Structure 1
Amino acid sequence: MRRLFADTRPLQTPDFRRLWVANIVTVIGAQLTVVAVPAQIYAITGSSGMVGLTGLFGLVPLIVFGLWGGALADHMDRRRLLAITTLGLIVTSGLFWVQAFLGLNNVWVLLTLFSLQQAFFGVNQPTRTAILPKLLPADQLPAANALNMTVMSAGAIAGPLVGGALIPVLGYSWLYFADTLTLLATLYAVWRLPPLPVDRPRGAPGLKSVVEGLRYLGAHQILLLSFVVDLIAMIFGMPRALFPQMAHVSFGGPAEGGLQFALLYAAMPAGAVLGGVFGGWVSRVSRHGLAVLWAIVVWGAAMAVMGAAVGLAPWATNAMLGLALGMLVIGGAADMASAAFRQSILLGATDDAVRGRLQGVFIVVVAGGPRLADVVHGGAAEVVGPAWATGGGGLLVLTGIAVVAVASPAFRRYRVDLNGRAH
């Protein structure tokens, strides 16, 4: 049974355990905001295209500050940088609460605050992940990544379910206020960390440093392809921006949120939680490259079937809602596995002196890919509808992964031994 369930050895390390436990609280609050922002924009405008615009407003600061934040994480004490950016996230969450409390109902205020929040997020997340090899031995990194993904996904279930149900009752301000309070738990966990200086920092955290990190990435094919396959999966296969329209138009939910909306947002994280809880196998897989490819194949197939379910919803609404939710659960489990292995590849095959910068690229790809997908899917749905946008995207994922698998046998063969050494 221990081999079946998640590998919890990383939780024996106090610093990692405090960060992980704090995330249980913080991620729920963060997901309340993730649900509230698109729901509030859709309620104001009634347009999936405007909801998709959040992708653009989130992507630009994420790229700029994700890359620069990774450079900062390679030059200054990472504990101090985490504390500064966590305080920034608390302030931006508080501003979300203020605009909702005042009833401004201004889309551009929402989008501006969202951009500011993503700027702090872009610096915080690469720093947060770059510290893991300093806290844990190499053979525990896949398990640690799976545990982090499980917590994030559990919060992404609770957040949409609670948020989607409470938006019609309490309004948006209370959700933003809860996010502000829960971030204090992470601030405490960061404060308890020891100093985390960088091993042999190189140069200064400017544009040259960012370029050096990108050159390092370009010179390592396995690392580069781990980003390429995720971009294929997310840009073509993430229909998140269409959830408000699907919930209202395809599955008959209210325009301002409701149960259908909450279930669509919660289903994919539910799959990731199941994948994490029963993820003891990830520590025993050595062929990380092949595991990533198969996980994304499952993801793409699930999104293709989901598109068909949305298209057939008018003839059997409840049954097709169940099928769509089932595909999102399967996709979430596959995405959890893919992320755990890709993060392990990146942490294990990178020097500490450039680890922050490559984590910055990772955050740009992992968080920026879905935001770019919001723009692509939102625009496509305006032309061909949500069913074709979702199903067609899934088929494009399968096509893209097949091309990568054939073109790069080195990525397929990439593996690590039990001591974390790459081959």
Structure 2
Amino acid sequence: MRLDTTPLRESRDFRLLFVAGTVFYFGAMVSYVAIPYQLYTETGSNFAVGALGIVELVPLLFFGLYGGALADHVDRRRMLIWTAVAQVVLTGVLAANAFAEDPQVWLIYVVGGLHAAASAMQRPSKEALEPRTVRHDQIAAANALSSFGMQIGLLVGPAVGGLLVASVGIGWCFVVDVSGLLVATTLFVVLRPYPHAGETTPPSLQGIGEGIRYAVGRRDLLGTYLVDIAAMLMAMPVVLFPALAADVFARPELLGMLYSAETVGAIAATATSGWASRVHHHGRAVVIAALCYGAAIALMGVAPNLYVAAVLLACAGAADMVSGIFRSTIWNQTIPDGMRGRLAGIEMLSYSVGPLGGQTRAGLVADAWSVRASITSGGILCVVGVAATAAWLRDFWSYDSRTDEHAVAERAAREAAAQPPQP
């Protein structure tokens, strides 16, 4: 059950990426608190706060795909460095704007869109580079460790951001974020080079299309995308937390417990994930974890009090994290290095579309029916959708990393690349 720290002990470059990723998420979550608060205090409009998400969505989708295509052609380490530098500059602009006597709202939207573009271009390179820093059999443990660092940032960052906003002001949140970005950028600089092993595909619509056809043509990969979309589209109750705390349970002072419960569960799952490296039927693990996620959300909708709801939400967070660990393991153990950037960009699309649609569904059903009914029906639909996906994609359910042709081929390629050249 103990978290497997072997990749941290054995791989210098994985340690660098782990620390950089944790610092990145921590700083990003500090700013995540500051930006909506600044928009609301400057405009007094909830729509103005929500509009930032719309502004960020378009560059996230476009540059996610383009960044994935770039990651399969250019030096991924350089992509990490220069996109990190861009984020340092953009966050510095937000800090200067926050410290100004008359902060400009339009600048927040412009910088927010540019920052989303830089982040979307960076993520495929990081996702594609990380598996190369560890052995093939360590990928599951590396995924769990990366998720653990991310969840620490998600849990601690908002708390620190709230304290900074209340004590010293919004501008200092961005200063903390810039400091973390500078540390992470420095760690990217000292990574060793990871040149592409073979011929690369220049970024183009044709190359992106090739990646999409590859993803859809492999039923095991298609299963990972569809299970995640089913869970997020049907059972994403975050938008209902304020109404659940204030109107259903009449405990608005405990709203923060709902927001942090899922992260606490995810941290618990990663901290006890040593068993994950000994599981080989990754498709079944993804399906079972997603079914548990849906069941926990469905039960949360009928919870008798907020404390029980928070416990069930923590269980859902743990199940979602287990599903995420094995989805990442399937991707990183089977996708050829020359395709990994483009597939990471497609993965980003599934991460973006599912939650956005899920929150829309939850809000519409809650307004038409009730908050409890929206949450419970979403959990039930998640269970039905995941079960139907598993029944349809039998190849996904029967996936075995020891015998799957793509996993075997990638393992052989990694072993061949690790052998010294013959005289």
Is 1:231–1:369's contact at 8 Å kept on the other side of the alignment? yes
Task: Find 1:139's aligned residue among 134, 137, 150.
Answer: 137
Q: Which residue in 2 is equivalent to 1:390? A: 375
**1:7-406 correspondence to structure 2 within 5 Å:** 7-11=4-8, 12-40=10-38, 45=44, 47=46, 53-102=51-100, 110-244=108-242, 246=244, 260-309=254-303, 320-381=305-366, 383-384=368-369, 386-406=371-391
1:52 CA displacement: 5.2
Give, in whole Å, the separation in 1 of the partners of 2:250 and 2:163: 15
Give, in whole Å, the separation in 1 of the partners of 2:294 and 2:260: 19
1:297 CA displacement: 1.0
Q: Closer, same or farther in 2 for the Cα pair 1:202/1:19, shift >3 Å?
A: closer
Give, in whole Å, the separation in 1 of the partners of 2:363 and 2:103: 21
Consecutive unaligned residues in structure 2, runs of 5 or more = 411-423
1:126 CA displacement: 1.1
Is 2:29–2:154's contact at 8 Å kept on the other side of the alignment? yes
- Output the amino acid matched with 1:10: P
Is 1:54–1:374's contact at 8 Å kept on the other side of the alignment? no
Q: TM-score, normalised by structure 1?
A: 0.86
Give, in whole Å, the separation in 1 of the partners of 2:312 and 2:129: 34
Residues 56-76 of structure 1 show CA distances to partners (whole Å, capped at 9, x for unaligned) of 333322211111000000000
Residues 50-93 of structure 1 show CA distances to partners (whole Å, capped at 9, x for unaligned) of 65555433332221111100000000001001111111222232
Is 1:142–1:282's contact at 8 Å kept on the other side of the alignment? yes
- Output the amino acid matched with 1:342: R
Q: Closer, same or farther in 2 for the Cα pair 1:169/1:389, shift >3 Å?
A: farther
Q: Which residue in 2 is equivalent to 1:315? A: none
Is 1:122–1:364's contact at 8 Å kept on the other side of the alignment? no
Give, in whole Å, the separation in 1 of the partners of 2:49 and 2:320: 23
Give, in whole Å, the separation in 2 of the partners of 1:95 and 1:384: 44
Give, in whole Å, the separation in 2 of the partners of 1:289 and 1:203: 29
- Output the amino acid matched with 1:67: L
Q: Closer, same or farther in 2 for the Cα pair 1:112/1:300, shift >3 Å?
A: farther
Q: Which residue in 1 is equivalent to 2:398? A: 413
Q: Which residue in 2 is equivalent to 1:6? A: 3
Q: What is the number of residues matched between the two proteins?
A: 406
Residues 255-282 of structure 1 show CA distances to partners (whole Å, capped at 9, x for unaligned) of xxxx634333322111111101100011
Q: Closer, same or farther in 2 for the Cα pair 1:223/1:185, shift >3 Å?
A: same
1:238 CA displacement: 2.1
Give, in whole Å, the separation in 1 of the partners of 2:358 and 2:104: 24
1:385 CA displacement: 5.3
Residues 165-204 of structure 1 show CA distances to partners (whole Å, capped at 9, x for unaligned) of 5544444333233222211121011101112222223332
Aligned-pair identity (%): 36
Is 1:63–1:368's contact at 8 Å kept on the other side of the alignment? no
Q: Closer, same or farther in 2 for the Cα pair 1:379/1:93, shift >3 Å?
A: farther
- Output the amino acid matched with 1:57: V
1:15 CA displacement: 0.7
Q: TM-score, normalised by structure 2?
A: 0.86
Q: State the structure with bigger RCO (CA 8 A, min sep 6), 1 or 2.
A: 1
Give, in whole Å, the separation in 1 of the partners of 2:250 and 2:158: 18
Give, in whole Å, the separation in 1 of the partners of 2:118 and 2:141: 27
Q: How large is the RMSD of aligned CA atoms in angstroms?
A: 2.8
Residues 220-252 of structure 1 show CA distances to partners (whole Å, capped at 9, x for unaligned) of 111122111111111222233344555555566
Give, in whole Å, the separation in 2 of the partners of 1:32 and 1:387: 31
